[in-house]
Amino acid sequence: VTHNIPLLRDIVEEDRFRRGDITTKYLPEVYPEGFRGATMTAKEENELMATAAALWARKIARAQKFLNHPSARSTVYDPFSKKYDFVVEFPKEEGAPRKTVDIDVTFKDAKDEHAVVTINGKPFNVRGNMNLAQSVLQLKVEDDLLSTQIFGKKAGEITLIYKGSQFKIKLMPRLAAELLKYMPEKKKMDMSRVICAPMPGMIKSVSVEVGQMVAEGQELCVMEAMKMQNSLHAGKTAKVKAVNCKAGETVDEGAVLVELE
């Protein structure tokens, strides 16, 4: 379910809106290129990176702790007493060079509720309950209160919701970051040329064939999901390049059903 919460949050903090300087052209004047998500100051970027690094270090440290295990009782090693080093890649605009930052994380007195995150030599104290199972995290970064939500976690990446917008933050070991420099970035697919399954389901009918010209908005196929039928349409006028599905076939979410030239 999509929503416009990030836009509304940005508007109520915008100077013109607060002054009451509003006209019917307010949105095109303030956002001439459209709204592209929440914008942050350099301070807010650092605080969000510090938060992500602290949460990630806590996740790793907690994974190394075992209760009621002989090896855990026979050693004095505490994963919360070591230093964690990351190279953090902060979200960037498409086409811009990667922005990476070296970050170190330690836990004050080996306690998981107080992390000291060093970004480019500057320490940031992150305090609070960092339990990753919480729906909303209320943390204190230096003297500022920061509210965020963990939207997703996967290998080397955590997605935080801040100011209503999602920020995918990559956290990698230094060796992985060094090797990543030699990996070309995967080009984004031109979604106007493909029609993908919005969710898992079954194809009920296919209305086009390879080589056929279709108009923008023309129905290409119909799929059934969750006992509802969804009509999928062409995003532009073009010739059908490939039809990758047939009636009665079950498809997964994101499967490319029809390709246009």
Q: Is residue 168 part of a domain?
A: yes
238-243: strand order across its sheet: 194-196, 256-260, 238-243, 213-214
Can you tell me the distance from the alpha carbon of 174 to that of 87, in angstroms, rounded to the nearest whole number? 6
The verdict on 144 and 216 lying in the same domain is no
pLDDT tens-digit map of 62-101: 888 766 555 555 556 788 889 999 999 887 554 456 678 8
The verdict on 131 and 252 lying in the same domain is no
Domain CATH code at residue 122: 3.30.700.30
In the chain, alpha helices (H): 5-12, 15-19, 26-30, 42-63, 70-73, 174-180
251 burial level (CB within 10 Å; 0-12, 13-18, 19+):
buried
43 burial level (CB within 10 Å; 0-12, 13-18, 19+):
exposed
The verdict on 25 and 77 lying in the same domain is no
The verdict on 96 and 211 lying in the same domain is no
pLDDT tens-digit map of 3-42: 788 888 889 888 999 999 999 999 999 988 888 777 788 8
Angle value at C-alpha 149, between 148 and 153, nearest 5 degrees: 125
- Res. 211 pLDDT band, cuts 50 70 90: very high
Domain CATH code at residue 196: 2.40.50.100
Q: Is residue 185 part of a domain?
A: no
The verdict on 120 and 15 lying in the same domain is no
Q: Is residue 100 part of a domain?
A: yes
The verdict on 142 and 246 lying in the same domain is no
HSE on the CB side for 92, CA within 13 Å?
A: 12
Higher pLDDT, 40 or 258: 258
Range of the domain at 14: 1-37
Can you tell me the distance from the alpha carbon of 6 to that of 70, in angstroms, rounded to the nearest whole number? 49
Can you tell me the distance from the alpha carbon of 257 to that of 202, in angstroms, rounded to the nearest whole number? 11
